[in-house]
């Protein structure tokens, strides 16, 4: 008898959640129409009463809290965007209820922005999916690639903490990929694990001779594999903590910069002598790599760092902050003096001519300055101000120095288009609210939602010649996500796109096709919202 009551209750619970979803779907697709406050009140009041009867405590609490916020909104007319924001807690709960069984089986390790990043290159998609799933249960972030050419590009863009590389690959084998990475690398210590169906002595020796740190034969013993990956990540962490010189450019690295800046701030509070921070960035450096190759890019980085080092005072210090970005700290110097020096250095460096085959080119840089002259300014604030000045210099045309402290100019942030293409209203709303909560310094996130592929592809948003992050559902009516991805990759602005596919949990064929068509990453539905946000935020920071 008791068992029968429980079954009936579950039936009514499911019916209530479906009713709520139907109403939310209707309201969140209003476009130009509005919802009256009294209709919203009745909707929430009904949920509160029914959820209490059905012992749905979370639902009753959320509806009660939303009702209390409606007390002073009796005459308000709610737009779609306002409803998105207001009903977000309810939308999240509906999503969790719909996917409760699958979400419960997801790993409990939550990603964070500083989680180690592992890259796997293997054309065996079954192996990719298995390794990605296993490694992400450890709280590590994993990116995958089946194509050697795009994998090398992904390696330099994402700068993983560990590389897992299969020897048997199409077009070029793993040894060729490893050689290309080592020839063109920025010479950071990145542990490399090679995997192969071949386990003869000659293959293993060659892997180690080529620079691999470890070797595993297929099939892989997962317990031992995870332990080895963990050990390599720990080694890299220890290495990064103790090395202070950037190997490629032979100037101090980011870790030493942060340690020294702390000392500069402490000295300022003691002496009250101002000092200046300048963030400098080589102009159009990605174009140099793409046009002339990473070897030439490395040469430019080396020459640039040494040129700056030779032409600043002995008390000034240059650090490589990351990629083509450097920081110079100028003790006992104000922004006006730094501005004049860096302007002179831009002119001098631009006169150096580089040649590659039959082509020649010159290089400039942009700089932002901030002078610390207020004891209440924090390191984070000073750095952010210098970075904002750098972005202002880029906005004004590059090859210049800017200091927002010295002007009243308001700079315009660079735009990053973001598109969410999914036929599920709840998913679209959930993702849009999550993206709205993300802040990327000096970047304006221009977020648009689309319910199907054609509406996205025909939009001006898709065609604009700006960097674009596309979140794309794999299965949709009218045109599925793989068709959309294929068309995006055929457009002239395809190089501007980073694509994250949302796939079914068991859809290996879908994942394989997505990776082969050029998707940069995939996430299986249902997803943990917090994990997805961290993953997206990390990718967006790479697109700055």
CATH number where 345 lies: 3.30.70.270
Structure tokens at 390: 């750098």
Q: Does residue 443 fall inside a structural domain?
A: yes
CA 160, 166, 172, 173 dihedral sign is positive
Residue partners of 247: CB distance under 8 A and separation at least 6: 186, 187, 188
**How many domains does the chain contain in total?**
4
Residues 281 and 155 occupy one common structural domain:
no
| Final residue belonging to a domain, choices 98, 127, 156 | 98
Same structural domain, 178 and 196: yes
Q: What is the pLDDT of residue 226?
A: 97
Question: Is 320 among the domain residues?
Answer: yes
Return the pLDDT at 327.
97
Q: Is residue 109 part of a domain?
A: no
Instruction: Please check whether residue 247 lies inside any domain of the structure.
Output: no
What local confidence, expressed as pLDDT, does residue 303 receive?
96
- Check residue 109 and give its pLDDT: 60
**Could you tell me if 39 and 182 lie in one domain?**
no
Same domain, yes or no, for 28 and 93? Answer: yes
Tokens of 461: 């948003």
Specify if 248 maps to a domain.
Answer: no
Say which residues have a Cβ less than 8 Å from residue 33's Cβ, sequence separation at least 6. Answer: none
Residues 310, 335 share a domain: yes
Q: Are residues 379 and 438 in the same domain?
A: no
Same domain, yes or no, for 191 and 258? no
Question: Is residue 104 in a domain?
Answer: no
Domain shared by 278 and 154, yes or no: no
Q: Which residue ranges in the chain fall short of pLDDT 70?
A: 1-8, 101-110, 183-188, 407-412, 505-506, 543-544
The CATH number that applies at residue 454 is 3.40.50.2300
> For position 224, what pLDDT does the model report?
97
pLDDT of amino acid 2: 44
Q: What is the pLDDT of residue 102?
A: 67
Where does a domain end: 354, 382, 406? Answer: 406
Q: Are residues 379 and 235 both part of a single domain?
A: no
pLDDT tens digit sequence for 356-401: 888 899 999 999 999 998 888 888 899 999 999 999 999 889 999 9
Indicate which CATH number applies to the domain containing 65.
Answer: 1.20.120
Q: Give the range of the structural domain holding residue 389, as residue numbers without chain letter.
A: 254-406
Residue 110 lies in a domain: no
Among 215, 242, 269, the domain boundary falls at 242
Please list, residue by residue across 278-298, b when 16 or more beta carbons sit within 10 angstroms of its beta carbon and e when fewer do: bbbbbbbbeebbeebebebbb
Residue 265 sits in the same domain as residue 232: no
**Whether residue 420 is found in the same domain as residue 537:** yes
Q: Is residue 165 part of a domain?
A: yes
Q: Is the domain of 31 the same as that of 14?
A: yes
Helix (H) or strand (E) holding 450: strand 443-450
């Amino acid at each position: 008898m008791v068992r029968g009551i429980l079954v009936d209750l579950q039936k009514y619970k499911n019916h209530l959640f479906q009713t709520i979803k139907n109403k939310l779907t209707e309201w969140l697709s209003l476009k130009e129409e509005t919802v009256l406050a009294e209709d919203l009140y009745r909707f929430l009041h009904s949920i509160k009463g029914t959820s209490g009867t059905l012992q749905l405590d979370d639902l009753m609490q959320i509806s009660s809290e939303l009702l209390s916020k409606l007390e002073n909104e009796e005459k308000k007319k709610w737009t779609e965007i306002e409803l998105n924001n207001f009903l977000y807690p309810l939308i999240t709960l509906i999503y969790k209820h719909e996917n409760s069984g699958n979400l419960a089986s997801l790993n409990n390790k939550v990603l964070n922005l500083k989680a180690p990043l592992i890259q796997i290159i293997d054309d065996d998609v079954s192996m990719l999916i298995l390794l990605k799933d296993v490694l992400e249960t450890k709280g590590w972030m994993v990116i995958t690639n089946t194509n050697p050419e795009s994998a090398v590009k992904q390696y330099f863009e994402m700068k993983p903490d560990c590389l897992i590389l299969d020897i048997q690959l199409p077009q070029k084998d793993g040894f060729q990929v490893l050689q290309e990475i080592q020839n063109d690398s920025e010479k950071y210590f990145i542990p490399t694990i090679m995997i192969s169906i071949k386990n003869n002595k000659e293959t293993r020796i060659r892997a180690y001779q080529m620079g691999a740190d470890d070797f595993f034969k297929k099939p892989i013993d997962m317990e031992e594999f995870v332990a080895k990956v963990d050990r390599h990540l720990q080694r890299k962490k220890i290495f990064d903590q103790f090395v202070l010189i950037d190997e490629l450019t032979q100037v101090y690295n980011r870790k030493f910069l942060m340690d020294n800046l702390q000392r500069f701030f402490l000295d300022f509070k003691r002496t009250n002598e101002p000092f200046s921070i300048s963030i400098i960035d080589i102009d159009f450096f990605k174009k140099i790599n793409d046009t002339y190759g990473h070897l030439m890019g490395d040469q430019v980085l080396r020459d640039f760092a040494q040129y700056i080092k030779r032409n600043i005072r002995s008390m000034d210090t240059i650090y490589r902050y990351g990629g083509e970005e450097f920081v110079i700290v100028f003790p006992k110097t104000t922004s006006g003096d730094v501005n004049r020096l860096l302007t002179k250095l831009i002119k001098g460096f631009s006169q150096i001519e580089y040649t590659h085959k039959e082509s020649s080119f010159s290089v400039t840089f942009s700089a932002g300055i901030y002078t610390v002259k207020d004891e209440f300014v924090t390191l984070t604030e000073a750095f952010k101000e210098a970075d904002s000045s750098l972005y202002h210099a880029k906005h004004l045309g590059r090859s210049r120095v800017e200091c927002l402290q010295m002007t009243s100019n308001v700079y315009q942030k660079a735009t990053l288009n973001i598109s969410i293409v999914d036929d599920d209203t709840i998913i679209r709303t959930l993702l849009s609210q999550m993206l709205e909560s993300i802040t990327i310094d000096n970047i304006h996130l221009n977020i648009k939602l689309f319910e199907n592929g054609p509406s996205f592809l025909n939009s001006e948003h898709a065609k604009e010649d700006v960097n674009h992050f596309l979140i794309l559902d794999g299965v949709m009516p009218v045109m599925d996500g793989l068709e959309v991805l294929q068309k995006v990759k055929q457009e002239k602005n395809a190089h501007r796109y980073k694509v994250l596919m949302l796939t079914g949990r068991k859809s290996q064929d879908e994942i394989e096709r997505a990776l082969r068509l050029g998707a940069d990453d995939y996430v299986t539905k249902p997803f943990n919202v917090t994990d997805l946000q961290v993953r997206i935020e990390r990718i967006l920071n790479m697109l700055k």
